[in-house]
Structure 1
Amino acid sequence: MKSPLVQALRSVALTVPDLAAAETFYTQVWHLTVADRVDGVLYLRGSGADHHLLALSEAPGTPQLLHITLRARTAEALGAIELATLAAGGVVEVTAGTPAKGPAGGHCVVIRDADGRRFEVVHGDARRTPDAPAPADRPQRLAHAVLNSHAVELTRAFLEQALGFVLADRTRIMAFMNCNADHHSLAIGDTDNDALNHIAFVVPTLDDVMRGGGRMRDAGHGIQWGPGRHGPGDNAFNYFIDPFGVVIEYTAEVEQIDDSYPVGSPTDWTWPPGRIDQWGIAIPPTPELKAAQRAVFFAPAR
């Protein structure tokens, strides 16, 4: 169970209204590290091999999602994605093989679906030697990004047709999309808008999920949902809202799957009354979290 075209989720590009404040939060509290600054963009990395996990640009107002960056399995996959995007009714903004912008380099294709979700797919981008041993309390890489959709099955079809993603599980409120050994790298939230739901960062251990929650609370950013353990993906979680309104998650122990994994349906993922995760101890998502999960949209096409 994996995409023949996409190897992994690499990074997310966003606007924020105050780049200096974002740097302070994401380095001192969230525990990322500055990877580079180029042309007014701040690139923040984890302790793993990816050049960066976030690319932040300053712009007034509510943050906007500029694009999701995926890594292609091969250089040839870029051309295949371009053709598959057109066949799926999407738009090719940057043709396959174009040099990617930014310090990570490589070549890319940039595509949009019919509802404006923008994906950059890169190959040959710079990698780094992971920190070893993995530092405690620091994100290693992105686990997944969740995107809301007013038409989940259409969004799912585009991810399958254009990018080769595979459905791993379908619950009443979400479609979990697989491209590698991680249970999901993208997921589609079943709702009435097309906002960014959240971005999840992998930390090394369950203890790091918990310590991260304490550190965030000490810094004035309380847990908005958690701690708990999800059903699909089996991952431990704590959810927060960053200073600008973006929902972010610390997670660990993401389930690793292969072709033997049975695709689940909503009837496979129901909880007893009063429970919202496997453990049954998590506080429910706060009203503030639910509002933030509906507030950050893809930037309009240029």
Structure 2
Amino acid sequence: MSSPWIEGLRSIALYVPDLARAEDFYTRTWNLEVAQRGDGVLYLRGTGTDAYLLALHQGSEAPQVRQVTLRARSREALGAIQASVVAAGGSVLAEPHELTRDPAGGIGLKFKDPHGRVFQVVHGDARRPDGAAVKDRPIRLTHVVLNSHAVDETQAFLADALGFRLADRTGIMAFMNCARDHHTIAIGIADNDALNHIAFLMPDFESVMRGGGRMKDAGFPIQWGPGRHGPGNNLFNYFIDPFGVVIEYTAEVEQIDDSYVSHGPEHWKWPPGRVDQWGISPAPGPTLKEAQKRIFFAPQP
């Protein structure tokens, strides 16, 4: 256990310009299912215990991130996080309160970091029965990657406010750990503070590959992959959804504990021409790179 307060990543909320199109894509093509509908919002779940993974809200023409939701280890952790967020330079948007409008319920705290990224931390939200994984369907979210124009500051905030620790750092990314997954939030070294991508955990290698074929058949080609990352040792295929959001199918994410030794950029180097362990796929092209810096958090007061 790295963070004394955060158990993991629960869900992500996005504003999208077309809810009907979003539902069609994320259910028929990405293989999630509808958990619940609300007024101007759609909740989608995987096969795991989380009540939902994506909350898609009707928005304007440009998609935006509404919030990233993490799960707290205890009710008491919410109070500790609230104090730590303020001490670390963040702003509390809503103190711990009953989430009566959220289909998963629970107690939630909402805040933004010094660069405007909005987080919610929940405890006591509804969980589904623990069932067997289903081939070719996402189980849960495993990580989100957020770009930062000030990586050291963002890294320090996640450590001070949420108790994350640095698992590894490469020349392009800082991988932040809170529990068993190698990383739950990674920070992309960039000149912007956009959403880089959202990663969905698949049951196995076969599901990552079959997902790539299904996406290709539907007109959404693999933008990067198949491959196996260095930090996290996970399999990957990257895609761009109908609204420009970068999404990843991944599996076999490395599980670590407090004995894991962090490495820096000098360790994570590839031979010329390679950008992952296998060296099968070319490096990400301009289409993916541009998409990874277009989706921003919605402004908050």
Q: 2:226 maps to what in 1?
A: 227
Q: 2:255 maps to what in 1?
A: 256
Q: 1:27 maps to what in 2?
A: 27
Q: 2:211 maps to what in 1?
A: 212
Q: 1:10 maps to what in 2?
A: 10
* Counterparts of 2:119 and 2:173, CA distance in 1: 20
Q: 2:265 maps to what in 1?
A: 266
1:84 aligns with 2:84: yes
* Counterparts of 1:123 and 1:97, CA distance in 2: 10
CA contact (8 A) 1:79 1:97 kept: no
CA contact (8 A) 1:169 1:177 kept: yes
CA contact (8 A) 1:148 1:194 kept: yes
Q: Structure 2 stretches of 5 or more lacking a match?
A: none
* Counterparts of 1:223 and 1:140, CA distance in 2: 20
CA contact (8 A) 2:89 2:113 kept: yes
* Counterparts of 1:45 and 1:2, CA distance in 2: 27
* Counterparts of 1:287 and 1:123, CA distance in 2: 40
TM-score (norm 1): 0.98
Q: 1:176 maps to what in 2?
A: 175
Mapping for residues 43-62 of structure 1, pairs under 5 Å = 43-62=43-62
Q: Describe the SS at the equivalent of 1:52.
A: coil
* Counterparts of 1:57 and 1:97, CA distance in 2: 21
* Counterparts of 1:47 and 1:129, CA distance in 2: 10
Mapping for residues 38-187 of structure 1, pairs under 5 Å = 38-99=38-99, 101-132=101-132, 134-187=133-186
After superposition, the C-alpha distances for 1:161-189 in whole angstroms (9 at most, x for unaligned) are: 11111110011110000011000000000
Q: CA RMSD in A?
A: 0.9
* Counterparts of 1:241 and 1:249, CA distance in 2: 9
Aligned residue identity for 2:13: A
Tell me how far 1:286 sits from its aligned partner.
Answer: 1.9
Q: Describe the SS at the equivalent of 2:227.
A: strand
State the percentage of identical aligned residues: 64
Aligned residues: 301
Q: Structure 1 stretches of 5 or more lacking a match?
A: none
CA contact (8 A) 1:148 1:189 kept: yes
After superposition, the C-alpha distances for 1:177-235 in whole angstroms (9 at most, x for unaligned) are: 00110000000000000000000000000111100000000000000000000000000
* Counterparts of 1:112 and 1:125, CA distance in 2: 21
Tell me how far 1:101 sits from its aligned partner.
Answer: 3.5
After superposition, the C-alpha distances for 1:47-88 in whole angstroms (9 at most, x for unaligned) are: 000000000011121210000000000000001010001100
* Counterparts of 1:221 and 1:50, CA distance in 2: 27
Aligned residue identity for 2:17: P
Q: 1:203 maps to what in 2?
A: 202
Aligned residue identity for 1:266: P
* Counterparts of 1:221 and 1:99, CA distance in 2: 36
Tell me how far 1:98 sits from its aligned partner.
Answer: 4.2
* Counterparts of 1:258 and 1:130, CA distance in 2: 23
Q: Describe the SS at the equivalent of 2:145.
A: strand
Q: 2:187 maps to what in 1?
A: 188
Q: 2:284 maps to what in 1?
A: 285
CA contact (8 A) 1:166 1:178 kept: yes
1:297 aligns with 2:299: no
Q: Bigger shift: 30-39 or 244-253?
A: 30-39
Aligned residue identity for 1:56: L
* Counterparts of 1:153 and 1:110, CA distance in 2: 23
TM-score (norm 2): 0.98
CA contact (8 A) 2:29 2:215 kept: yes
